[in-house]
Structure 1
Amino acid sequence: MPVTNWGNGQGKISMSGLIGVLQEAPLRLALFDIADSVCEHAHPQFHVLIKLSGDDRTFSVGDEICHLTDDKTIVIPPWLPHADLGESEGSTLMLAFYAEPRWIESQFGLHIRFPSAASQPVITGQVRRLLSQVSTFITDASASRDDIWDTTVQLMGSLLRHTNLRSGKLSDVAIDFRIRRAISLIHGQPHGIKRMDNLAKAVGMSRSHFYAQFHKATGIPPRIYVEGLMIEQAIHRLVDSRQSIKDISDDLGYSAQSHFCRFFRSKVGFPPSSFRQFAINA
C-alpha cells in the first residue's frame, strides 16, 4: 500500500516541523525539521538520531555532550535521559528511530548493561546508501510501507553493528522489591502518579530512600520514568485511536488541554496535533 502521509502526500516535503511518522511495532520512525531545543526526557526504546541536512546539533545524553553531525549518529540506550540543547543557529532535517529493546535483542543480539552510555557510530558507506533509500522512500508518495520497513531494519542493523554499547544483561543490578512494586504501579497507570512522595509512601519507603533506590535500579529519577511512559501513552492514543486531543488530555489527567500540549511539545518537539496529522499506523 502506498504511503501518502509523508510530507503533503504529493511526494514533496514541507521543511518545517514534523514531516512524517511511521509506526509499526516494534519500530517508530520520524522525519522532522527542527530548530528549537527539546527538554530532557527518556524513552523506553532504543533511540537513534541521524542528521540528513542542515546545522549540526548538540545533545546532552546522560552525563555526556554528543554532537550530531554529517558523519556521526547518536544511538541512545533505553531510559537514558537526553535533551536537544538548541544551540544551533539554524534548523536540522533529521531521522529518528525508536526500537523496542526485546526486538533489538532478538533481531541483532544486542544486550545492554544498564544504565549505559550513548554511542556515536560513524556513518559508513553502507549506512549512507540505506539512508538515501529511506529518504527517497519518504519523499516518494508511491513508496510502500514494506519498502520503508525493510530498509529501516537494514539501516538499524548496520548502525547497531558499529556501536560501542556495552554488552551484558539488563538485570545486572539487584532491584529492591519495593522499587519493582513502584515500577509496576507506574506502568499500570503512569498518569495517576501525581506526587512522587505518595508513590514512595505506597511502597513503604521514605522519599529520600525511594529516590536513591529508584535511581540505582533504573539510572534515572522517577519523574523522568513516569514522563517517558506518559509520552508513550499519548503517542499510542494519537496514532491508534480517534480520541480527540482534549479527551486524551483528560484521560491522562491534565487539568487543561493546553497543559498537555505544552508538556508533549516540550518532550517530543512538536504539538500533538502535528504528530497525529503526520502519523501512519502501519
Structure 2
Amino acid sequence: MAKDRQLRIVHGSFGRATLHRISGPLVAHAHAEFHLIFKFGGTDATFKIDGHAQTLTDGCALLINPWSTHAKSAKEGSPSLLLALLLEPEWLGRTLGVDNPASGLRFSKTLARMDAHTAASLTELGTCLARDLAADSATGSIDCEAAVAELARRVSACHLQRRSMTEVLANTKPLDYRIKRATEYIRSHAGENPNVETVASAVGMSRSRLFHQFKACMGISPQQYLDWIRIGIATRLLAERHASIGDVADQLGFSAQGHFTRFFVQHLGLSPSEFRRIGMPGDAHGD
C-alpha cells in the first residue's frame, strides 16, 4: 500500500469509521446502518443514491438512510479522500436518546452543507483517525469513538428527523412471512452464497415472485441483502484476525481468494489485506 494512501479504520460499538483515498467505483449496495460520507480532499466524488446522482464537494456531507441503495461512480483525476461512517441504528438511538431508531429516524436530505460546528467536529474526528496510533491503543479507540459520537450529534441536530408513529406506520413496508423466512434462510446459508432460485425454492416461491415481493418488503433485492450479510461476516472475521484471508474466502463460499478480494473491493473500495492491516479495534465490532 502506498504511503500516501492515508487509510485508517476504527471499529467500535458505533459501527465503523473509515478514512481513505478512493478513485474507483463501488457497486450498488445497501445496508441496515446509517451511512455518512464526508470529503477531506482530492477530487469531488459522485454517488448515485436511490437512483439520484449526488456530487460530494468540500463542506458537504452525504447522508444515507438504512436500506437506501447507493453506489459510487468512477471519476477521472486524483482520488477522493473520504471519511465514511457506518453507524449502527441501536447505537445512534442510545446516543440521541431515541427509541426504535431504525424506523423512527430518517435523514431529511441526501446532500447537506455542514455548519461551522459540524465542520469542527469532522476535523476533530479526521485528526483522530489520521493519528499514527498503535493497533492496540485503547486510548486512541476511545478518543475516536467520542469524536464519532460528537459528529453524529452535530449532524443529527441539523439533518436527522424523528418521525411520528403515524409517519412510521405510513412508511412501513408490507409484511410477508415468506420474505421473513427468505431473510432467515439467507442469513443461515450466507456461506453457501445461495442464488435467488435456491432461496425462492426454500420458501416455496417462484424466482420472479420472490424478487418482486422481497423488493416490496425490504426495499432492496435478495442479492443486495445477501451481499450485506456476507460483507458483514467478512469485516467481522477480518477485524478479529483469527482466520487468514483465504479462510475467510472459504467460509463465504468463494471458489478463489481473488474472487473474494474483488467482491470486497467492489463494496468497500479497499482490499481485505488493507482492511486488516490498518484496522484499529475498539471495544466492539459494528458488523
| Structure 1 residues without counterparts, runs of 5 or longer | 1-7
1:28 is aligned to 2:16: yes
Over 6 Å off, 4+ runs: 113-117
> For the residues of structure 2 that align with 1:179 and 1:139, how far apart are their CA atoms?
42
Q: In structure 2, how many angstroms separate the alpha carbons of the residues matched to 1:38 and 1:202? A: 31
Deviation, structure 1 residue 160: 2.1
Question: Partner letter of residue 218 of structure 1?
Answer: M
State the 1:245 CA deviation.
0.5
Aligned to 1:52: 40
**Separation of aligned partners in 2, 1:205 and 1:279:** 41
2:91 matches 1:126: no
SS in structure 1 opposite 2:38? strand
Give the conservation status (yes or no) of the 8 Å contact 2:193–2:252: no
Q: Equivalences for 1:102-251 in 2 at 5 Å? A: 102-108=90-96, 109=98, 110-112=101-103, 119-141=110-132, 144-163=140-159, 167=163, 168-169=167-168, 172-251=172-251
Which consecutive unaligned segments of at least 5 residues does structure 2 have?
134-138, 283-287
Match of 2:136 in 1: none
| TM norm structure 2 | 0.87
Aligned counterparts of 2:24 and 2:235: Cα–Cα separation in 1: 20
**RMSD between aligned residues:** 2.4
Q: What is the CA deviation profile of residues 200-256 of structure 1, one whole-angstrom value per residue up to 9, with x for unaligned ones?
A: 111111111111110001111110110111011100000013211011111111111
**Aligned counterparts of 1:223 and 1:21: Cα–Cα separation in 2:** 26
Taking the aligned partners of 1:91 and 1:197, their CA distance within structure 2 comes to: 39
Task: State the number of aligned residues.
Answer: 270
1:157 is aligned with what amino acid?
R
Contact 2:108–2:160, Cα closer than 8 Å, also in 1: no
Task: Quickly say closer, same or farther: Cα 1:117–1:123, change in 2 above 3 A.
Answer: closer
Contact map agreement 1:28 1:98 (CA 8 A) in 2: yes
Output the amino acid matched with 1:15. D
Give the partner amino acid of 2:124. Q
Measured in 1, the distance between the counterparts of 2:211 and 2:161 equals 26
User: Larger % of helix: which?
Assistant: 2
Q: Partner residue of 1:5?
A: none
Distance 2:213 2:70 in 1: 21
CA contact (8 A) 2:9 2:129 kept: no
| One-letter amino acid of the counterpart of residue 168, structure 2 | K
1:53/1:93 contact within 8 Å kept: yes
Distance 1:191 1:86 in 2: 30
